Chains A and B, each alone.
Chain A
């Protein structure tokens, strides 16, 4: 009896600690959101308002009507979607080839992939920029970003997926082969559907990486017409007097798609981390 009561007290204590932690983790987001609903005069009041009075959607209207945000948003979508498709397709093809086939130089290539896994993308940016800047047509072109986003991180993705393909039973593919399905058909109709959970995790990683990328696009996209959301936000943030409320309306707009994807596909997020151990 006494044990039961003390166990209950411990459980309540644990719950309180977790709640406190969750507040620390999420309150900055709440604060960002309510600041985006404040009028300019209320941005730095002491004490800070925790519920905006008066609350207004004016900042969102300002961002959407008076800045180029809609264009940035469209640019971000136009770049991100094809880049993700390209990235996922290339990664799955590569991983599948390594998992199921033997070809000359296979081991050498795979060791190479693994050896360069730890090379941070940031370090390649100088030579990569030098390559792109030498070809006039690639500069200030959204297609460049679709391509670079599409071929980014292939080493890691192939490494991440290969283990999954190797663990998949080969019998389905073998029986399909006997039924006369060619390699491509086997890949599309049998392997791909089975690999959906891992491919889902990969798609999400790819999405976050490309949607949030700031530095590389800012080097390539020089004209305002081509800017993506992060570039727009950073420019806005760099202006002489920062209008925090309008700026946060912008960041909320940029964060919204990520939150939607996060809530809908949380299972894949968790999976990509627990299985792949990757660091975002």
Chain B
């Protein structure tokens, strides 16, 4: 055995455990979910699965519940992504200087990010409670912006609002950290030169900071969009998709079909469509990631 051959074998041994588990637990399930979506799948192993071709998909494209879930998912993404980015960017701008307490601020703003979705969703359900909830108390008794208590989570018109709020609140810390990393990558000389030329801070922000942050902004946009499409536990915990399906999103609808009604084939069809959407976004992301180190 030559040395070269040996090295190849050693390399293979290093990656083998990880590679096998990846093939068995990620790649195979991906392929399997495509296959399952073509069947009327039976969870009882004694009853054979029935091949039905694209029937799950034709049914899906005529399913008003699917469109409602898709619409809610898109709205959630359209509202929470800019929300997280704008606030995250503002905080990052303010924090990007030598100041006392910078580390502490970072720590506090990041706290919602590390707390599990289950816990923060329960917490927000409590804050948005109709009677005696903190939000209604603030709006009604303290600020007098509303006349009577709003039943946030039990009215189809308002049920998404706590879910949006939670989505933005939980994501600001992440957005801030990524922007901070981007801001710290901008060469200091540029600002020094600009201030010698008499530029004010508004000009330096719009003429230097923003253009140089474009790759970071694109990166966040893609990551947060994928994250937005994956919204699940906040809906599942706070409303369960109700009232009257008004907060159902793609993932929660998929779970209902798969694990409440055991329609594994139909659930797989939903997840395949979902996968195609997210995958498309990810392809764009890879193109942008290549440009991430622009400066």
Contact = CB atoms under 8 A, between A and B. Distances in A.
Interface of A: 11, 14-15, 17-18, 21-22, 24-26, 28-29, 31-32, 35, 43-48, 90-91, 93-94, 96-98, 100-104, 106, 109, 112-114, 116-120, 122-131, 133-134, 148, 150-152, 154-155, 158, 183, 187, 208, 211-212, 214-215, 219, 230, 233-234, 237, 244, 247-248, 251, 254-255, 258, 262-263, 266, 269-270, 273-275, 277, 279-280
B11 A101 contact: yes
Interface of B: 7-15, 17-19, 21-22, 24-30, 32-33, 36, 41, 43, 45, 87, 91, 94-95, 99, 103, 105-120, 122-124, 126-127, 129, 131-134, 137, 141, 169, 172-174, 177-178, 180-181, 219, 223-224, 226-227, 230, 232-233, 237, 251, 254-255, 258-259, 264, 267-268, 271, 274-275, 278-279, 281-282, 285-286
B112 A25 contact: yes
Contacts of A35: 126
B178 A17 contact: no
Contacts of B180: 274
B18 A90 contact: yes
Question: Which 9 A-B pairs rank lowest in CB-CB distance, beginning with the nearest?
Answer: A101-B11, A44-B132, A97-B14, A94-B18, A118-B282, A212-B116, A97-B15, A151-B21, A127-B32
B132 A46 contact: yes
Contacts of A154: 18, 21-22, 26
Contacts of A100: 11
Contacts, number: 249
Given A102-B8, A124-B33, A255-B115, 7 more contacts: A29-B111, A44-B132, A47-B141, A118-B279, A119-B26, A120-B230, A258-B114
Contacts of B7: 101-102
Nearest to B177: A273
Nearest to A247: B122
Contact of A131 (B13, B29, B126, B224): B29
A18 B118 contact: no
A133 B36 CA distance: 15
A71 B172 CA distance: 35
B122 A130 contact: no
B109 A22 contact: yes
B267 A126 contact: yes
Contacts of A48: 132, 134, 137
Contact of B237 (A130, A237, A254): A237
Nearest to A118: B282
Contacts of B117: 212, 214
Contacts of A119: 26, 30, 275, 278-279
A167 to B, nearest CB: 13
A18 B13 CA distance: 51
Residue among A18, A45, A93, A109 facing the most chain B CB atoms (10 A cut-off): A18
Nearest to B103: A266
Contact of A219 (B107, B131, B259): B259
A109 B8 contact: no
Given A97-B12, A118-B226, A277 B141 contact: no
A122 B230 contact: yes
Given A101-B10, A118-B285, A277 B227 contact: no
Contacts of B127: 28, 31
B102 to A, nearest CB: 9
A269 B116 CA distance: 15
A94 B15 contact: yes
17 contacts: A28-B169, A29-B115, A44-B131, A44-B133, A104-B8, A109-B15, A109-B19, A119-B278, A124-B29, A127-B32, A130-B43, A134-B45, A151-B21, A154-B22, A212-B118, A258-B116, A275-B181
